Each structure stands twice: as structure tokens, then as C-alpha cells.
A = this chain, B = another copy of it.
Amino acid sequence: MENLVSNEVSILTDAPSAINSLLVNNATMKALVYHGPGKKAWEGKPKPLIQETTDAIVKILKTTICGTDLHIMKGDLPEVTAGRILGHEGVGIIEEVGSSVSNFKKGDHVIISCITSCGKCEYCKKGMYSHCEKGGWILGYMIDGTQAEYVRIPYADNSLYPIPEGSDEEALVMLSDILPTGFECGVLNGQVKPGDTIAIVGAGPVGMAALLTAQFYTPAEIIVIDQDDNRLEVAKTFGATHTINSSTNNAIEKIMALTNGKGVDTAIEAVGVPATFELCEAIIAAGGHIANIGVHGKSVTLHLETLWSRNISITTRLVDTVTTPMLLKTVQSKKIQPKKLITHRFKLDQMIEAYDTFGNAAKEKALKVILEK
């Protein structure tokens, strides 16, 4: 579809300078291209062009790989077509902007949000950017993404965020997706409050992001549950007050013992399988909140026969990235160190190697990998 558009506009050779950028571009770049389940390559692709007046072209400085990219590679998201450049996270420099873009100009450093927001549909006006009628999660999914030297960002004014001078840009890559996901879906939906006892089920990158951002609200106790002792050790250094390896312990019993039989005020599900969601159901206190972050492929059993009278809430959410400006302020003021999430660093053209490392996260003790120019 994108090539089609590029061809179409190539006839506008006499257009005034404002739309010069719509000319065919023979420049190429390197990118991570999906070629169907199990097949990928770091290969040449045409450098992206401005297609709409609201677009920006961003030169990637740093990007990363998400668990969702691994799912795409496995073929779990069949709607992703062969030829697609993957990746929906990163920071970069504005290379060019469409004529309607007013928040950014060439040379600005920006955070790329994983969610594209048009800023003018019903959902965007409500702050539900994830359900934007023209955007939402499309980067590296429905349109080409950020695991490349350049990327086209639609609705740039509403989908990019300016990086203050002097920032640690590596840390800010975590603001593209993982920090707002843990924060919005887990911490905000979970209504974490000072003094609360909370449980985070799953200590992968997004669970860790929930762990870091939950501390914005000063819970008294944070119990992290996982099956990987290494990740639990890391969780302790990130602020967990208790950790439980659920493969070698009865997590429900342990949590109920820790909470005097009351259960936790907030349970954050950061895995996405029935067993972990049902664990949350079992440990939630009366009046508590189960906040789902996990991407689920199957239905789960909801035990309404006990929960109907427990005054609980269960929430789901696809990240809206509406809190990115707030998160940026907390990073700038050093209230949070998202850099802690980065375990491995590569050059951009080591992309395949980085995928291998991230694909063996447990063995490699990987959380987030950074690929930089």
C-alpha cells in the first residue's frame, strides 16, 4: 500500500516546493524486514517519503525489540504481511516534516510513540489514542516501523514527543511503549495508592515497567511473582519488597500469608495466559483491582461465583501513551531510571544478533536491548 502511494504521488513533478517531498525517492536504507513466519532479514529498502502533510520522516538514533515483534516473527499476528519493516519504539532526529506539521522541524530530537494518534477523532479527543480511527498501533504492524535507518511517522504532531536538550536518549527509548504500557495499563488502571500492597505477576520487561512506575504512588509492599529466579533478583533491585518463584512455591498461599489472608489491593497481570490471570483472581482483596496488561490469546475463567460479592474491578487496556509527557517529566527529574531496563546494547546493523539475544531472554538474562546508530 505504501509503495502504491509513493508511485501515485510521483507524477506531481510540478508541484510547488511545499510538496516537493512527495517526489519519488531513490535513496535506500537498511531495515529489519519480515518475510513471513520465521523469516526476517536486515536488508535494503527504499527510504520512506512524506505521504501526507501531517507526516514526518525520522532518522532512527536508537530502537529496540519488543516481545510483540517475536510474536509477529512466529506468525501469531497473521495480519502482518511479508515485506513489513518491524519495530514500534525508538528515538531519532526529524529528517523532514510535512507542510501541516507545526510542533517539529528538521533536526529536532524526538521520542517515537508506539501509538499513532490523529488528534482529531472521537477517541483521540477522549485520550484513547490506542483506538484512534486512523492510527492506534500501526507502526511495524500495519505500516513500516522503526527497526530501520528511517521511519515515516503519520500525524507527527500528535505521535512524536520532543526530547529536551541534554537528555539521556537511551533511557527515553523506554518511553515509546514499555513505560507507558506498564504505567497506564498496570499502575493507573490498578489505582495504586500510598500504603497499598500490590502484586505484579510476570517480571518480563512490561512487568518491570509496572514495578518501576508503581513506585510513583508509594505502595507499602510490592510482591513480584515469576518463574525465573534471575528476573526475581532483578525485581528486588528495582524495588520489589517480596518475590515469589511460582514454579517452586504455592504463590497463592504465600501471598495470602503475606497479607494476613486479605489478599492484595492491586494485582497487575503482565504475562497474558489463563493461569496468571486466575492467580490474580485468587489473590485479590475485597475492594481490590485486577489490572490486565498481558496480551491474551485465549479466554480465561472468571470466578464470578466468588468474585461477584468482592467489590473488585478488572480492567483491560491497550496502551494509549497519553501519559508520555508525564513520564518524560519523571525521567528528566530523575524520579525514575528506565535505563535499568536495558541489559544489552548493539549497533543498528547487528539487528539479527539482537533478535537472537532477545529471543533467548531467559538464558541471556535480557530485558530490553538497545540498537543504536
* A contact set with B: CB distance below 8 Å: 12, 14-16, 19, 53-54, 99-100, 102-103, 119-128, 130-131, 157-158, 189, 193-196, 215-218, 220-221, 241, 272, 277, 286-287, 292, 294-305, 307-318, 320, 322, 325-330, 332-333, 335-336
Complex CA–CA separation, A189 to B193 (angstroms): 15
Checking B220, B277, B314, B326 against A329 with a beta-carbon cut-off of 8 angstroms, the contacting residue is B220
A295, A313, A336: most-surrounded residue (chain B CB, <10 A): A313
- CB-CB under 8 A from A327, the residues of chain B are 194-195
A sample of 15 more A-B contacts (CB under 8 A), given A100-B100, A127-B127, A313-B313, is A15-B16, A53-B53, A102-B120, A119-B125, A123-B286, A128-B286, A130-B311, A131-B311, A193-B326, A194-B327, A218-B330, A218-B336, A220-B332, A299-B301, A299-B303
**Nearest CB in chain B: distance from A99 CB, A:** 7
Contact, CB under 8 Å: B292 / A333: no
Question: A194 to B220, Cβ gap below 8 A?
Answer: no
Q: Judging by beta carbons under 8 Å apart, are B316 and A309 in contact?
A: yes
Nearest-neighbor residue (CB-CB) of A327 within chain B = B195
* A365 shortest CB reach to chain B, Å: 28
Please tell me which one of the listed residues B296, B304, B336 contacts residue A304 in the complex, with CB atoms under 8 A apart.
B296
- In the bound assembly, the distance between CA atoms of A332 and B194 in angstroms comes to 12
CA distance in complex: A287, B326 (Å) = 15
> Which of A123, A311, A328: most chain B CB closer than 10 A?
A311
With A53-B100, A330-B195, A335-B218 in contact, do A299 and B295 touch (Cβ < 8 Å)?
no
With contacts A16-B15, A221-B333, A292-B308 taken as known, whether A119 is within 8 angstroms of B122 at the C-beta atoms is no
Contact check, B299 vs A304: say whether CB atoms are below 8 A apart.
Answer: yes
Contact B287 A296 (CB under 8 A): no
A294-B130 Cα distance, complex, nearest whole Å? 31
A193 cross-chain contacts in B, Cβ below 8 A: 326
A299 and B296 within 8 A (CB): no
Contacts of A326 in B (CB 8 A): 193-195
Instruction: Determine whether the beta carbon of A194 is less than 8 Å from that of B330.
Output: yes
Q: In this complex, what residue of B is CB-closest to A18?
A: B19
Provide the residues of chain B in CB contact with A196, threshold 8 Å. 329
Interchain CA distance A305-B215 in the complex, whole Å: 29
Contact check, B296 vs A277: say whether CB atoms are below 8 A apart.
no
> Is A217 touching B217 in the complex (CB atoms < 8 A)?
yes
Within 8 Å CB of A131, what residues of B? 286-287, 311
Asked if B297 and A305 sit within 8 Å, CB to CB, the answer is yes
Q: How far is the CA of A196 from the CA of B218 in the complex (A)?
A: 16
**A307: nearest chain-B partner, CB-CB:** B316
Q: How far is the CA of A99 from the CA of B18 in the complex (A)?
A: 12
Partner of A158, one of B119, B215, B317, B325: B119
Q: Is the beta-carbon distance between B304 and A292 smaller than 8 angstroms?
A: yes
